[in-house]
Structure 1
């Protein structure tokens, strides 16, 4: 997982002393993993557990069905949310996978064995908890650096300043749009293509503290709350160890300087709560009308690659913030296959197109190639097959040799291949990196190799863009000081090689919000050195810019390349089942 990248600090400073706020030693699975990160780190230790001593107000497992039903009937608040309660039960039963459930309870007593524990009965006023002064004094006496909130309710008062660097807390939701509960339900009801998650330092204003880290994840877009929360919960769990490492190595001023800038709250409600019966029934009806046709599909999504000869003006013109995709011709893959992830390479006066040749029957991609200099052949020929899925064939030259770095997530590695006989025979020479990464995009400048790689949290669609540097093509990677670059599903995956245009350097990225490969977003690189990286957004190219195919509009676009007098893109279309 991503947390493994942050377990070692280069600073010789004393270990950070942490306190945990918990209701019980049975914690959510994501919090258990966060504790594992801390215990495995070289720079932080848990020295205190502050346990909620208030009587449990929750559910009684021994209560009869009749008594629970009576409780719903008597309470207007519960009665108005009974459809939501039934939906949650059914959804968990329908989609439950224990190992993916981020909120399942995990016994952490062994993880926290030997750690000092104090119990605090908070002063309660509705959902607000205030700590007694004696408890605050006891916590301050332990000289705590950071308090991590894994329990209690909304915290107010002097407890917020009881640790040197405050109380750090996850908020599962985009705090610019969603404040309140339940996490990730309203994103479904409001048809939001993205779900957010933040790590913040708590302040007096609810969900309006200093945001240390923020991620944006693709919304499930269907009927399942269970599936909708998997990516943001698991995709953000490493935020805690990441920011603790930065605190230890670089100090609190560094965290403040890199904090997420505050933005006005734009939620449709001041504070969200459980959806009422009418809201749930209306949403379920809309979703069922949308989903029923998918049970008997007449059309399905199919990726296609398109090519055109380079004109005076390139298809993507980020410096001018415009794009023109007219003139592209689609390449037909054999029946039962699709072509995607196209890359061009010019060699000895010829232009070759490398792409992913995906077989529906085998549910696997191989790398294929075709010479497109004179005309597009009927089909591409396979040039690299490993028995596991390959895609994103990044082909480049260096020091007189031709190399390829394909995406090989299925093998859990970033492998470097050298052309033994170009373009048809490739030999693996090095494994550059091991991990759950995709779309490795190298860039060589001033004697330094830069590797843009996208980490995917296993079992989820959560992505994070990281930048590594190396002194040679096959030398060990080390994290760039600016890494990670993005936890945003709109720009954390590569959409092709970096390119120069009108004196600027540009990075194309995939926007996978709403649907995988929805659009290409282009960023201008403002600074790229071994010590600095900066970029800003300049252009979005969506499916509406893609030429129609078979009188059908495109549903997405996610790769662009330009070399050897040609340009290529790929796009997906909803086509009749059986036509491909």
Structure 2
């Protein structure tokens, strides 16, 4: 679908906007689907004493967090956007020039970047409404509070997105939303991941609107919300109690990290089992452990059958070297395996050995995000000799590319990020081509088709069961490699992508496992990986974990009492 560029109005409360908003504006101006026609300056609203106090507390928290964890927040840095404007008209809200513009000029989309209520006259005069970002909940419009509640409450994900206000509608529509994994240690890391990622939201959705049209765009909006309804949070700004909870988390996090360093070692291992029901493929009690030597880990298994025998390709990372290479073993009839043989090594990290067959020839696509490429290798001698064929993509940071032939086309599912501060685990991008070796992959208009820390990143080869297509995905909410999902794909074409989670696995200490993130399916065989916990204290470690969780809940619920008690004793001594 081809349309004229959308005429955009930008609404701000001053010359300076946050750095992530500046990046959003840069990408918007570079888009062929948008042209900025006016900037409207609104008068800032006076803040209350409590709001100013909260702002001071937040600045102190961010400063301390940045010092402790070497993560100075940059996304919220005030940045002047005036150099980007050129000859774009700038009007003060309420002025005669503003009123004349609103009554005589057409605007397709207005982008509201202030923390104030939307302007009714702009809602009434825009074709596609007034759009604004939100943080944690559609009623929160200030990026100052990003990740504050989530960190204090130990939530696994931070919700953010875009809403739009349309004429004749009582409530705003959720145009798009995404989740970001909270950082278990640092507030600032979660803030950076969330805000820099949000720079893409409006440019991407305008691209979708221009490509598919308003009717399908609205349908996609509804499907996103139905797939994962937004949670409700308090509409008031976080205050002293929330700050106290955050302050108490820092020593708790330090003690947890110290205990883990002293008494635990975690290692990625491989697991094998015979085939089961599709909804039970990730159950840990069904698996047999393959534990590698303690100086390395094994992960990302893929099963390939050749000449009646099955081979498992996987990532092997030797800790002393620090980057992964690819290895392979052959399964024996008794369930054991041959010694691993290295099949591909590069000066940069390799993992996720996606092997596929095309026109009788085996090919391999490893994860090569460290080289900013999506590379494909051709097999010259199975399974040990692979030679470079070509780059399918260049100048991209792409993770775990997974190909699938469907309905006469080849589809590439890949996790990507466009800013170094963002996580590579939270946005699934979809491309299609008429040949798996093509270098002209077309982007899907809904990209990212999945924007969830708990569901986005690929986790192995796709497979069919009972004529249904399934996509394994990683759950990285809270921590990388936390768990595994199986998603049934309900629609896959050049305009729409839909999937639904049918089962998920979160091995939080079960069977001495603390995470899993790849599933390989073979003939009568399933292979997965998992984080195996070597416990130096044995069974005592389990009881310490339970006691730690109980104390943690007690502190979380009564932190305000713990903070007030010292002040009470001081008062009594006076």
Q: Which residue number in structure 2 is paired with residue 344 of structure 1?
A: 303
Residue of structure 1 aligned with 2:414, choices 453, 467, 471: 453
Q: Which residue of 1 aligns with 2:448?
A: 484
Separation in structure 2 between the aligned mates of residue 252 and residue 371 of structure 1, nearest angstrom: 53
Shift of 1:365: 0.6
Which residue of 1 is the match for residue 79 of structure 2? 106
Q: Which moved more, 1:207-216 or 1:486-495?
A: 207-216
User: What TM-score does the superposition give when structure 2 sets the normalisation length?
Assistant: 0.84
Determine if the alignment matches structure 1 residue 395 to structure 2 residue 355.
yes
Out of 3, 7, 19, the position equivalent to 1:29 is 19
Counterpart of 1:370 (choices 329, 332, 336) is 329
Does structure 2 retain, via aligned residues, the 8 Å contact 1:136–1:158? Answer: no
Can you list the C-alpha shifts for 1:333-374, whole angstroms capped at 9, x where unaligned? 233210000111111122111110012222211001111234
Change (3 A) 1:206 1:26: farther
**What is the CA deviation profile of residues 214-260 of structure 1, one whole-angstrom value per residue up to 9, with x for unaligned ones?**
111111122x3221111221222211111222333333333222214
Unaligned 5+ runs, structure 1: 1-9, 59-71, 121-130
For 1:378 and 1:334, the matched residues in 2 are separated by 15
Cα gap change, 1:449 to 1:294, in 2 (>3 Å): same
Alignment check: 8 A CA contact 2:179 2:453 kept: yes
Q: Is the 8 A contact 2:429 2:450 kept in 1?
A: yes
Q: Distance in 2 between matches of 1:219 and 1:393?
A: 29
Tell me, in whole angstroms, the C-alpha distance in 2 between the residues paired with 1:177 and 1:538.
32
Give 2:212's aligned residue. 250
Q: Secondary structure at the match of 2:84?
A: coil
TM-superposition CA deviations, 1:552-579 (whole Å, max 9, x none): x211111111214432111113325899
Counterpart-to-counterpart distance in 2, 1:225 and 1:333: 35
Secondary structure of 1:88 counterpart:
helix
Preserved CA contact (<8 Å) 1:306 1:329: yes
Contact residue 18 and residue 144 of structure 1 kept, 8 A: yes
Are the structure 2 counterparts of residues 496 and 177 from structure 1 closer, same or farther at C-alpha, using a change threshold of 3 Å? farther
Residue in 2 that maps onto 1:261:
225
User: Cα RMSD over matched residues?
Assistant: 3.1
For residues 495 and 78 of structure 1, the distance between their equivalents in structure 2, rounded to whole angstroms, comes to 45
1:540 aligns with 2:514: no
Any idea what SS the aligned residue of 2:35 has? strand
Deviation at 1:264, TM superposition (A): 7.6
**SS at the partner of 2:414?**
strand
Report how many residues are paired: 528
Decide whether the 8 Å contact of 2:410 with 2:432 is kept in 1. Answer: yes
Name the SS for the 2:518 alignment partner. strand
Q: Which moved more, 1:526-535 or 1:192-201?
A: 526-535
Local SS of the residue matching 2:195: helix
- Checking the alignment, whether the CA contact within 8 Å between 2:412 and 2:432 is kept in structure 1 is yes
Deviation, 1:266, is 4.6
Deviations 1:266-312 (A, max 9, x none): 5353x131321x4422442244124224135221332111123x2xx
Hey, what does 2:314 align to over in structure 1? Answer: 355
CA pair 496-207 structure 1, distance change in 2 beyond 3 A? farther
Which structure has greater helix proportion? 2
Residue 268 of structure 2 is matched in structure 1 by 303
Asked whether the 8 Å contact 1:350–1:564 carries over to 2, the reply is no
Q: Distance in 2 between matches of 1:523 and 1:227?
A: 29
Alignment check: 8 A CA contact 1:176 1:266 kept? no
Structure 2 equivalent of residue 493 of structure 1: 457
Change (3 A) 1:286 1:250: closer
* Match of residue 184 from structure 1: 147
Between 230-239 and 568-577, report the one with greater CA deviation.
Answer: 568-577
| Shift of residue 79, structure 1, vs aligned partner | 5.5
Are the aligned partners of 1:181 and 1:273 in contact in 2 as well (CA < 8 Å)? Answer: no
Shift, 1:204, TM fit = 9.9
Change (3 A) 1:133 1:102: same
Give 3-state SS (helix, strand or coil) of 1:494's partner.
coil
Are 2:390 and 1:425 equivalent residues in the alignment? no
